[in-house]
Amino acid sequence: MKQTNNNTSHFSRLRRTRMNATLRSMVRETELSKNDFIYPLFVVPGTKFKKPVSSMPGVFQMSVDEIVRECVDVKSLGIPAVILFGIPEHKDEVGSGAYDENGIVQRAVKAIKKEVPELCIITDVCLCEYTSHGHCGIVRCDEIVNDDSIELLAKEALTHAQAGADMVAPSDMFDGRVKAIRQILDANGFQNLPIMSYAAKYASGFYGPFREAAESTPQFGDRRSHQMDPANSNEALREVQADIEEGADIVMVKPALPYLDIIRRVKDRFQMPTAAYNVSGEYSMVKAAAQLGWIDEQRVMLEMLTGIKRAGADMILTYFAKDAAKLL
């Protein structure tokens, strides 16, 4: 009688499908694509203006004309979407530049739409770049107030839609803002305009370089009274659920790398189109280590982006979009 061999290594050899590049590509479970990327852009007043953000090599503040040129480039690389952040000429207590129909983002949207109509333009909806104190809403007696702030965010979203934005993305983390935005959009004929909500956004140290790019560092205090505690996971599901109930079409987890578990839980639980924001600090760390010659930048970048996708993200907001698209 033939003896059974209990040493399973003779039957199962996981290395068999790793022996050459073709086999590896055939069993690959996660495929990163240009189509997954949303490229963040920072638009500032002026013309022919392009200023490097020192803490984010390869990222610039750009005037509208430069942004339009950049968008032509982004589209030709096969990246389907951009997200716009605006830095206004004047900041005030109530962030009026944010909901000015002739504001910086509104002007940029119109100009891009004219030149590159097929590019999906998402606008970040928040007040922090527009307020003199750098907070995401109105401040009264040292408190960042919720309900009056969401009225302003709704107005901001409407002016973005009227300018021609394809999608709005509220990033403030106040309660009820998705509903307020959905209502004002619907009441003004924008029933079909999707909302991508920054649904589980954490109070994170990884936003440091962004605040240089967007000139949005809070002048006092921090964002812990509205953004999430990094220690919480169940609460992220409640945040996401609330936004879905209020009408969010795409839900976002932010940052990405320290929160891959959250991306996975959100995807499994809700099965919604899920975005992850590979934020400024995640980008800058890679760029800095690469400049020091400590890591292989391209390899680490693709590994990070693949990891975010493997965790469950359908789309990735990333400053690496152009670099990665060139390699894919």
> Where along the sequence are the contacts to ligand PBG (CB under 6 A)?
124, 126, 128, 171, 207, 210-211, 223, 279-280
The nearest distance, CB 154 to ligand PBG, in angstroms, is 16
2 catalytic residue (yes or no): no
Q: CA nearest 253: which of 303, 308, 324, 174?
A: 308
Residue nearest to ligand PBG (CB): 210
Q: Closer to ligand PBG at the Cβ: 223 or 267?
A: 223
The answer to whether 143 and 174 are in contact (CB under 8 A) is no
201 part of the active site: yes
Of residues 124 and 246, the one with the C-beta less far from ligand PBG: 124
CA–CA distance, 81 with 38 (Å, rounded to integer): 5
Q: How far is the CB of 319 from ligand PBG (least distance, A)?
A: 7
At 66, which helix (H) or strand (E)? Answer: helix 64-76
CB of 230 to ligand PBG, least distance (A): 13
To the nearest whole angstrom, how small is the minimum distance from the Cβ of residue 293 to ligand PBG? 25
Go through 162-175 and write b for each residue having 16 or more CB atoms within 10 A of its CB, e for each that does not: ebbbbbbbbbbbbe
Residue number, 65 or 221, with CB nearest to ligand PBG: 221
Q: Which of 103, 108, 110 is nearest to 127 (CA)?
A: 103
Residue 250's φ and ψ, nearest 5 degrees, are: -130, 135
Write down the catalytic residue from 254, 267, 287, 309.
254
**Residue placing its CB nearer to ligand PBG in the complex, 112 or 256:** 256
Of 91, 113, 155, 201, which one is the catalytic site residue? 201
**Shortest distance in whole angstroms from residue 26 CB to ligand PBG:** 35
CA 84 – CA 158 distance, rounded (Å): 15
- 77 and 320 Cβ atoms separated by less than 8 Å: no
What is the C-alpha to C-alpha distance for residues 194 and 186, in angstroms, rounded to an integer?
A: 11
Spatial separation of the C-alpha atoms in residues 320 and 282, rounded to whole Å = 10
Query: Residue holding tokens 């040493």?
Result: 7
Q: Is 57 exposed, middle or buried (0-12, 13-18, 19+ CB in 10 A)?
A: middle
Nearer to ligand PBG, 20 or 67 (CB): 67
Backbone angles phi, psi at 146, to 5 degrees: -85, -65
Q: How far is the CB of 203 from ligand PBG (least distance, A)?
A: 8
Give the nearest distance from C-beta 253 to ligand PBG in angstroms: 13
Nearest C-alpha neighbor of 40 from the set 272, 216, 240, 210: 210
Q: Are 194 and 244 in contact (CB under 8 A)?
A: no
- Residues taking part in catalysis: 201, 254
